[in-house]
Amino acid sequence: MEPTKHERLRGRCRVSEASDLVAREESVSADVLGQLVERMEQMILRGELSPGSRLREMALADALGVRRGPLREAIRILEGRRLLERTPNAGVSVIAPTLEDFEQLLVAREALEGMAARLAAQNMTSRQLDELRAMAARMESRDTKDHDALGVCQTGPDSDFHRHIAACSRNKRIEQWLCEDLYSLLRFFRARARPQASVAHAEHRAIIEAIHRRDGDAAEQAMRSHIRRSRRALLAHASVNGMDKEPAK
Ligand SMILES: [Zn+2]
């Protein structure tokens, strides 16, 4: 089960959300719904659906070439991912996060990832630890310019590293809050922090070694200081996605 667990985790919310909904709405295939959700998510993250703007179902269904049933299902999924929010009597709007929200997310992330690392030190199998080492090694072998997203935890090797630790915490709540809620919201923000890949690599190695020693205190502290340092760097160069550019036509 171990090798596939974080792979499952990464795809889980898309697949399970789509298939649950399709069970209720047989006319839409999971694939079609999944693609629609993916497309709308990109529109939100790119600012094509402006932060704070209200969704106009009919116009959106026309623009996307879909019926309103599937569109509503997609909207429900994106509400679940906290990218859309429903206000009574006002309909559904795109969230409009602020830099203060970004800071709060990153503070919460420090606590959650610290606990995930502590639990992983107890629960990670040696095979999972080998996988974690391999992930860190792959990151170190890549060119430095690939590392400007280090610490943001959106996609890519750094994200894989952190998601793997969350999965190996074997605490479903922490895994879900991190991998489904928090990382999803973090994608709303952009930070042009200068890459400090060598520092991040050293921090990753400290986390791995603490887990290897089964030292939960050290694993938590190492993870917390990794996240804390990246938070400072990110906040110094942060912008809210979609607010610093013209919406794409
Ligand atoms: Zn990292």
What the chain holds in terms of domains, given with CATH numbers, is: 2-94 (1.10.10.10), 99-240 (1.20.120.530)
Confidence of residue 3 (pLDDT cuts 50, 70, 90): very low
Does pLDDT of 174 surpass 50? yes
Output the pLDDT for position 144: 54
Helix axis angle, 57-64 relative to 30-45, nearest 10°?
A: 110
Report the Cα 119 to chain-centroid distance in Å.
20
Higher confidence at residue 59 or residue 241? 59
Task: Measure 115 CA to ligand 1 centroid, in angstroms.
Answer: 15
Question: Mean pLDDT in the chain?
Answer: 82
Please report the sign of the dihedral spanned by the C-alpha atoms of residue 92, residue 75, residue 180, residue 235: negative
Buried b (16+ CB within 10 A) or exposed e, 77-98: bbeebebbeeeeeeebbbbebe
Helices (H), the chain: 2-24, 30-45, 57-64, 68-80, 99-123, 126-141, 157-168, 172-176, 183-186, 197-212, 216-236
Higher confidence at residue 80 or residue 92? 92
- 43-68 pLDDT, tens digit per residue, is 988 888 988 999 999 999 999 999 99
Does pLDDT of 208 surpass 60? yes
Output the pLDDT for position 76: 94
Whole-model pTM? 0.74
Across residues 200-219, what is the average pLDDT? 96
Task: Measure 231 CA to ligand 1 centroid, in angstroms.
Answer: 11
Task: Measure 203 CA to ligand 1 centroid, in angstroms.
Answer: 8
Task: Measure 17 CA to ligand 1 centroid, in angstroms.
Answer: 28
Does pLDDT of 10 surpass 90? no
Task: Measure 163 CA to ligand 1 centroid, in angstroms.
Answer: 10
Output the pLDDT for position 195: 60
Task: Measure 202 CA to ligand 1 centroid, in angstroms.
Answer: 10
- Percentage of the chain surpassing pLDDT 70? 78
Q: How far is CA 1 from CA 66, 75, 119, 124, 223, in A?
A: 38, 32, 18, 12, 25
Task: Measure 226 CA to ligand 1 centroid, in angstroms.
Answer: 7
Does pLDDT of 177 surpass 50? yes
- 116-147 pLDDT, tens digit per residue, is 999 999 999 999 999 999 999 988 887 555 44
- Percentage of the chain surpassing pLDDT 90? 52
